[in-house]
Amino acid sequence: MDFEDFRAHAHRFSDWMTDYLETVEDRPVRSQSRPGDLLAQLPASPPDAGEDMSAIFNDFEQKVMPGITHWQHPNFFAYFNGNSSPPSVLAEMLTATLAAQCMLWETSPAANELETRMMEWLREMSGLPENWAGTIQDSASTANLCALIAGLERATEGRVARKGLAGETTPIVYASSEAHSSVEKAARIAGIGSDNVRKMPTDGAFAMDVTALEAAIREDREAGRMPACVIACLGATGLGSVDPIRAIGEVCRRENIFFHIDAAWAGSAMILPEERHWMDGIELADSYVFNPHKWLFTNFDCSAFFMRDPSELISALAISPAYLQSPDGEQMPEYRDWTVSLGRRFRALKLWFVIRSYGADRLRGMVRAHIDMAKWLETEISATPDFEIMAPRRFGLNVFRYNPGGLDDAALDALNTRLVQAMNDSGRLYLTKTLLDGRVVIRFVIGQTYTQQHHVESGWAAIREIAAELA
Ligand SMILES: *Cc1c(COP(=O)(O)O)cnc(C)c1O
């Protein structure tokens, strides 16, 4: 493809992109593909001769698009959102074009310095302590792993990076039973193991029981084990619960245990002063992560990871072979030493575009509007006899179930499972379920960029209609 062809296709694609976003509502939210649909249409071997871009693009529209679930559809209420916005997409086009490998300051000084400043902007917008430093990780999963690595480094007084865990007593990680699966995965990757992740019981609002945490730490110390890290949820994935940050922080300070906060989803709501009470005690934490790629209108991947003092993590990760030495870089943080991969995308550009294009006020307004819609829905669900709220609303998440009466728990589980399936098969909206004390419950998350009140209203109407048909 020569550059004139590239120009022509780039224009055509940008028209397609705009049309797609303008008409995304006409598509079923969740892909209606069946397993193997696309595989059956793809040749088993690669073409020997190059093909025309028009043919490739035609297959993209005809074959690939039916297998896409539309995350930018305003009726996407499943999981947590992976939202985006026009300024973010524009930045990603530039990032893809530059294709800069931002592994060192020298390999793109602007990427390094823009990242530093964007993390300062996010820190200020989120009300995080002023002296914290941050870097952009690919995902909260990686940030959680980095926190465990820093925690091990502290607990072993720097031995683990050199000598490994073999000569150490058993390291222990503490999190609530609501913590994200990436915590356990990180423990496996770090060589700690799932069995050494203590899943603390929770209270009536599904927040970590701090008395149980203290008791577990005491018991582990008495048995000669090594408490290495506590990970608190600020907005857990299943039910949105928030652990008591200050109380956990006080325990961690007293015990000198690394304290990390996983706010992957709800961290975006901390740009709202009225929501900051949830992070009371944040200054007691050692690290904090939230994903602008979930709820701050910025394309995946963009996970903002902050640390009170990055030196433990750097001491655990930094290795400087001769081929990576760059003298000027020594004056700047080299973010490759703050994470797993060496190679880094230029992720700060999309944040810069998003924050400048909307401004902090408008961003606050957009997140606040989502939470207001969730409050409206909460009131509706509470007022509707055949539905029941199952967990307290947190931010943009409502957790509920359909309960038309006269059914036992097992039958209600089956009914709600069928309801979620039927809603998602309808293409009208997309929701997911989870378990609460073993019971099937439905999660309705509001956080898509283009979602407006009327989408939530029609989504709620669809739920009641489909439920009535099933009953
Ligand atoms: C989504 C989520 C994660 C995982 O985020 P990734 O960026 O996809 O790794 C971790 N923790 C919580 C609380 C989450 O909601």
The pLDDT tens digits of the residues spanning 299-314 come to: 999 999 999 999 999 9
Would residue 102 count as lying in a domain? yes
**pLDDT < 50 stretches in the chain:** none
What local confidence, expressed as pLDDT, does residue 328 receive?
A: 74
What local confidence, expressed as pLDDT, does residue 323 receive?
A: 84
Would residue 186 count as lying in a domain? yes
Report how many helices (DSSP H) and strands (DSSP E) the chain contains, helices first: 14, 11
Phi, psi of 229, deg, nearest 5: -165, 140
pLDDT digits (tens, 9 = 90+) for 43-83: 999 999 999 999 999 999 999 999 999 999 999 999 999 99
What local confidence, expressed as pLDDT, does residue 437 receive?
A: 93
What local confidence, expressed as pLDDT, does residue 342 receive?
A: 95
CA distance 374 to 209: 27
Model pTM score:
0.97
Pocket flag, ligand 1, residue 303 (CB < 6 Å): yes
CA of 393 to the centre of ligand 1 (A): 19
Residue 427: CB atoms within 10 A of its CB come to: 16
Q: Which alpha helices (DSSP H) does 282-429 contain, by range?
A: 292-295, 311-317, 348-383, 409-426
> How far is CA 463 from each of CA 30, 407, 409, rounded to the nearest angstrom?
15, 19, 20
What local confidence, expressed as pLDDT, does residue 331 receive?
A: 85
Task: Determine the structural domain holding residue 319 and report its residue range.
Answer: 94-353
CA distance 101 to 86: 24
Q: Which atom of ligand 1 is nearest to the CA of 139?
A: 7
What local confidence, expressed as pLDDT, does residue 324 receive?
A: 86
Angle at 27 between CA 138 and CA 140, to 5 degrees: 15
Pocket flag, ligand 1, residue 264 (CB < 6 Å): yes
CA of 13 to the centre of ligand 1 (A): 31
Q: State which of 80, 137, 177, 180 you would mutate to test the pocket of ligand 1, scoring each by most atoms of that ligand within 8 A of its C-beta.
A: 180
Q: Which atom of ligand 1 is nearest to the CA of 300?
A: 7
How many structural domains comprise the chain? 1
For the stretch 281-308, what's the b/e string if a residue is b when 16 or more beta carbons lie within 10 angstroms of its beta carbon?
bbebbbbbbbbbbbbbbbbbbbbbbbbb
Pocket flag, ligand 1, residue 182 (CB < 6 Å): yes
> How far is CA 366 from each of CA 76, 105, 269, 316, rounded to the nearest angstrom?
16, 34, 10, 39
Residue whose Cα lies nearest atom 2 of ligand 1: it is 264
Pocket flag, ligand 1, residue 81 (CB < 6 Å): no
> Which H helix or E strand runs over 393?
strand 387-394
What CATH number does residue 181 fall under?
Answer: 3.40.640.10
Would residue 347 count as lying in a domain? yes
Would residue 309 count as lying in a domain? yes
What local confidence, expressed as pLDDT, does residue 67 receive?
A: 97
What local confidence, expressed as pLDDT, does residue 187 receive?
A: 97
Would residue 337 count as lying in a domain? yes
What local confidence, expressed as pLDDT, does residue 329 receive?
A: 67
Would residue 427 count as lying in a domain? no
Would residue 67 count as lying in a domain? no
Would residue 83 count as lying in a domain? no
